[in-house]
Amino acid sequence: MGNKKYSSLKIENIVASGSIAEAMDLDTISKKLPGCKLDKKKFPGAVCHMENPTLCVLFFSSGKIVMTGLKNHELFEKSLETIIIRLNELGVKTLDQPDVVVTNIVCSYDTGININLNKLVITFNLENIEYEPEQFPGLVYRLSDPKIVALLFSSGKIILTGGKNIDDIKLAVDHLTDALSHLQ
């Protein structure tokens, strides 16, 4: 797999979630951690907009977290480490082995060609696609292996979501570009 094929592939967002502690006091976290807000009437968790690294973290009293806004895997590792340090500084006892994993990667990809979506509807398996141009300008294609949802636009741009790692995303790109090459 040459790098040039994936040169337009760009990670837009990584979402990770899992357990970081057995329990967390959201009142303490929201009061002492900069950028955190807690409004139990609107949402059951503390919402924290962090800087350096820039991301949004949702903290739940169960000890679970959701991290979003990450742009690469290295940033995920660094952010998780930073969150653990900041929580420990607040007196929150974190797990020795936090179980936080990437649950979704959203990427954009530019094929560099215009796509005839109407022709694509005829070519693809109808069970795996949704295309209602009056409702949404893109074609929704659900790949089964890897389990990824792709939004294809006539401009040649594609949004891929649902991947757990970049290899799955690249496999989906391979599948899509192969299918599109048969349309030319």
Question: 35-70: per-residue pLDDT in tens?
Answer: 999 999 999 999 999 987 789 999 999 999 999 999
- Indicate if the pLDDT at residue 92 is higher than 90: yes
Fold of 111-181: TATA-Binding Protein (3.30.310)
Tens of pLDDT, residues 148-172 = 999 999 999 999 999 999 999 999 9
Output the pLDDT for position 179: 84
Cβ contact 17:64 at 8 Å:
yes
Write out the H or E segment, with its range, that includes residue 141.
Answer: strand 139-144
Output the pLDDT for position 184: 63
Domain spans of the chain, in order of start: 14-103, 111-181
For the full predicted model, state whether its pTM sits above 0.85: yes
Architecture of domain 14-103: 2-Layer Sandwich (3.30)
Cβ contact 33:86 at 8 Å:
yes
Write out the H or E segment, with its range, that includes residue 32.
Answer: helix 26-32
Q: With CA atoms as reference, report the closest residue to 92 among 149, 40, 31.
A: 31
- Indicate if the pLDDT at residue 1 is higher than 50: no
Q: Chain-wide mean pLDDT for the chain?
A: 92
